[in-house]
Structure 1
Amino acid sequence: MSLTNVPEQQAAFFLEATNGNFDRAIEMFYDQAPESQRAAPAYPAASQQWTQQQQPAHTSRQQHQQREVQRRGMLGTIMSLPRSALSSGFGMLFGVIGLGAAAIAFLGNRILPASVMSSIRGALQSILRGAHDVEPQAAAETFQRTFTARYGEVHPQWQDSGWQAATAQAYSHFKFLFVYLHAPHHQDTDKFCRETLCNPELVDYVNSTFDCWGGDISYPDAYRLSNSLRVTGYPYCALLAFSGPRTQLIAAVEGCAGAARLLGVLQQAVSDHGGHLAVEQADANERDFNRRLREEQDLAYQQSLAEDQERERQRAAKQEQQAAAERAAAEAAAKAKAQADAEAQKAADRVALLAARRAANRAALKPEPMGTPGTTALRVRLPDGSNHLHRFLSSAALQEVWDWVGSLEELDAVKFHLASSFPRQVFSGPSLAKSLSELGLAPQAALLVQVDDEE
């Protein structure tokens, strides 16, 4: 038979036995036997003896007698169960393991140190729990649900997470974590929950002062915490500070303490150790202030940097615009200068050309015939409105007239042509080789000088 397949009621027997709840364990063990095979215990129930053990002893003889009766009571109860109860109710292997666990817990609590017994108890419980691991959050939610269903809505506000997550959350609030380890089958659990944990005054103080977490030691998360805290008695309440590797036990109350006593312990713990949280909170506030200050400084620096970059961009853009305008102005000036130079050069060339033409025409000009028969008097009108008269032989070609007109200082034109007004006739090209007589210009004529529109 594998321990991982032990029925739930049998595993509960082991947990009660290893937790030291012998009366409950024996009752559960005894209840598994068939009705016909049960034997009444030869001595008073272990619960009665456990209650007596908590009362003050009058004499050492009475204490010794009580311990003897308690030992005989439990052993007598176990021995009074027939072998068939083991085989039919639990099975042979479970019966042997169960009796061994109960005997170790019963005797070990009396002859072994509490720390040693706690390790033994943890090892036995680990065997029973190993194959039934439950996630911390699921275990917390189950505890919260069952606690509320059994004891009502007036109770500490349990966190629905594992205890480690609860300590982290409490530390983030700069509060202590109020912890309650719930032993569901312990004889004092029900009374403690109803009269102490659900006391309105205690509940108001706990909920307003601490973050709260409760766990059923039947589940791995709470069980491991009980081992870490070296819990030796139930019910058990504690205050934890900080989180993670820094988690510290501030105060603890074991046993069925009243609401007034538990409240006094909690208030004293806050008075003695609350300053640590105040220091932590002050440090955190300073860190947060420094962080926000750095963020604000970084933001201001980034904004200043962005503004400087924008100003630099605008300055560069303005400089580029100015440079572009200067380049355009320089180009326009250069273009204007080049155009002016070209025009000046053109004018100079024109003047030189006119001067050269006038000089050449004057050199080729024949003397004006005076008193000679067969002459023609020609009057020409220049574009500026001036009139000029010159005599030519009637047999002279029109080219001579052309050269004469070209030699006049008043004519400021490179190209021109001659024309008669009536009848309208233009003389140029081939007409220049004909004589004045042939062209009907003898013995006298009037011509107009017209500038060709070449410029």
Structure 2
Amino acid sequence: MLATLSRAFGLEGLDSASSDPSADTRAFQSLLDHELGSRAPQLLCCSFTDALARARDSHQLLLVLLHSELHEDNDAFIRDTLGSEEVGRVLSEGPFAVWGASVLSREGRRAADAAVASELPFMGAWLATSPTASKHECVGRSTGNAGPANAAQFLSAVRSRFEPKLAERRNDILAREQNRILRDDQERRYREIQEQDMQRMREAEAAEAARAEEERRRAQAEADAHEARQLASVVETSLQQQIEEEAEAALARLPAEPAEDAAGVAVVRMSLPGGTVLERRFSSTDTQQAVRDYAAFALHRMGVTRFDGFTLGSRAPDKTLRRADDAQTLEEAGLFPTARILVVVHRPADAAEVAKAAVEAGRAAREAAGAAAAGASLSRSGRIASSGSVGSADEDAVPFQRRGGGGSSD
């Protein structure tokens, strides 16, 4: 009967060159399901090698069932033994993974050769301990149809003997996995702590660099302020000296004041800043430069010394006295016989600003060129000299002014 079923399910004379190893076990599973129904053991439908690997990974014993459709005990082995309640109960309690095939199939012959199955039907228990099939161990064999009681006793004996070993190995693997997880966690925490330490170190270095930069800037600002104060004092002293020298020169150039009743007398009324009005007599042949010199001397005498230059404007006649016309006589300039002159003083000069500009320019030059202190000092000295020079590009400014451009315009 089973031989007929085997032919129906393709078990007899299976092609040994089949490219699908799982086809052999699927054919056997179909036969068991048809014959035993719900009592049929469930096989691993894969190759013998894959079945060993699955049993190893799941920490189970692999029960290998080998049969032959042509063997006289095949019917009883399947119906009475594999379908018995005793064998079913032991298999359900584990720890068994079941695989089987006909020895007439390629995978069945491979398993039979590995188990050295000399008699059929065959039940063998395999302890899968290595990924390599050649290193697996067949730890129990039952050959022939021993009946359901003996088969159940065989399976129970194998389970009693090797289940503790499986449990021990399972616990070892679990312990190794836990140790690996713990080690990975420790390494992760160590890396995190290292990164946190490195981050704190970087932040500390950045904070120290910022503090040092702030200290450097503060010290530089203090040094610049001190240098500016020193330069301002030098500039102020130099400019005051120049102003005094120019005032003295202007006084020396002034012509003598003629008598009131002298012929050709020109009377000049000069309004200074602050409301002071001065009056002086000049000769009609004196030049406009004489009026400018008088204005310069008058400003110095009145204590008006902090300015960038002044402009002379005439109210009668209404015009600005240009320096280009300073060689004209008062009569030629229209300032005879009388003239009213307004002295307009330009913005007061600030020696501190001059000194600050010189310091900033000197620092910029040092940073750009990397010049030595001596060279930077020479550069600053040159700027002081140009800042405190007498005279102006503006032709209408008095000679002793601090900066160019402070003179009068036409």
Partner SS for 2:268: strand
Q: Tell me the TM-score normalised to structure 2 length.
A: 0.69
Partner SS for 2:275: coil
**Residue deviations 1:415-434, cap 9 Å, x none?**
33322324423222354333
Unaligned 5+ segments in structure 1 are: 1-8, 13-127
**Residue deviations 1:333-357, cap 9 Å, x none?**
7877787777666655543332221
**Residue deviations 1:160-185, cap 9 Å, x none?**
11222212211211111112111212
Q: Match for residue 128 of structure 2?
A: 242
Q: Distance in 2 between matches of 1:273 and 1:430?
A: 125
Of 300, 308, 313, 2:197 maps to 308
Q: Match for residue 393 of structure 2?
A: none
Structure number with higher relative contact order (C-alpha < 8 Å, ≥ 6 residues apart): 2
Q: Distance in 1 between matches of 2:41 and 2:148?
A: 13
Q: Distance in 2 between matches of 1:247 and 1:278?
A: 17
Change (3 A) 1:343 1:421: farther
Partner SS for 1:433: coil
Aligned-residue identity in percent: 25
Q: Match for residue 270 of structure 2?
A: 380
Q: Match for residue 152 of structure 2?
A: 263
- Give the partner amino acid of 1:132: S
Instruction: Say if 1:183 and 1:189, in contact at 8 Å, map to a contact too.
Output: yes
1:156 to 2:47 alignment: no
Q: CA deviation at 1:363?
A: 2.2
Q: Match for residue 428 of structure 1?
A: 322
Partner SS for 1:152: helix
Structure with higher Rg: it is: 1
Partner SS for 2:330: coil
- Give the partner amino acid of 2:319: Q
Cα RMSD (Å) of the superposition? 3.4
**Residue deviations 1:274-295, cap 9 Å, x none?**
2221221122112111211122
Of 340, 350, 367, 1:446 maps to 340
Change (3 A) 1:405 1:153: same
Q: CA deviation at 1:211?
A: 0.6
Pairing 1:270-349 to 2, within 5 Å after superposition:
270-318=159-207, 347-349=236-238
1:214 to 2:100 alignment: yes
Partner SS for 1:361: helix
Q: CA deviation at 1:329?
A: 6.3
Of 284, 288, 293, 1:403 maps to 293
Q: Match for residue 392 of structure 2?
A: none
Of 140, 143, 146, 2:25 maps to 140
- Give the partner amino acid of 1:391: R
Q: Match for residue 197 of structure 1?
A: 82
* Count of residue pairs brought into register by the alignment: 329
Q: Distance in 2 between matches of 1:438 and 1:389?
A: 20
Partner SS for 2:313: strand
Which has more helix, going by share of residues?
1
Change (3 A) 1:359 1:227: same
Instruction: Say if 2:317 and 2:334, in contact at 8 Å, map to a contact too.
Output: no
Instruction: Say if 1:350 and 1:414, in contact at 8 Å, map to a contact too.
Output: no
Q: Distance in 1 between matches of 2:139 and 2:323?
A: 130
Q: Distance in 2 between matches of 1:401 and 1:329?
A: 51
**Residue deviations 1:391-431, cap 9 Å, x none?**
33343223222212222313434533322324423222354
Deviates more, 1:188-197 or 1:342-351: 342-351
Change (3 A) 1:354 1:219: same
Instruction: Say if 2:86 and 2:149, in contact at 8 Å, map to a contact too.
Output: no
Q: Distance in 2 between matches of 1:277 and 1:323?
A: 67
- Give the partner amino acid of 1:357: E
Change (3 A) 1:270 1:414: closer
Instruction: Say if 2:127 and 2:138, in contact at 8 Å, map to a contact too.
Output: yes
Q: Tell me the TM-score normalised to structure 1 length.
A: 0.63
Change (3 A) 1:373 1:206: same
Q: Match for residue 73 of structure 1?
A: none
Q: Distance in 2 between matches of 1:257 and 1:393?
A: 159
Instruction: Say if 2:316 and 2:339, in contact at 8 Å, map to a contact too.
Output: no
Unaligned 5+ segments in structure 2 are: 8-12, 348-404
- Give the partner amino acid of 2:151: L
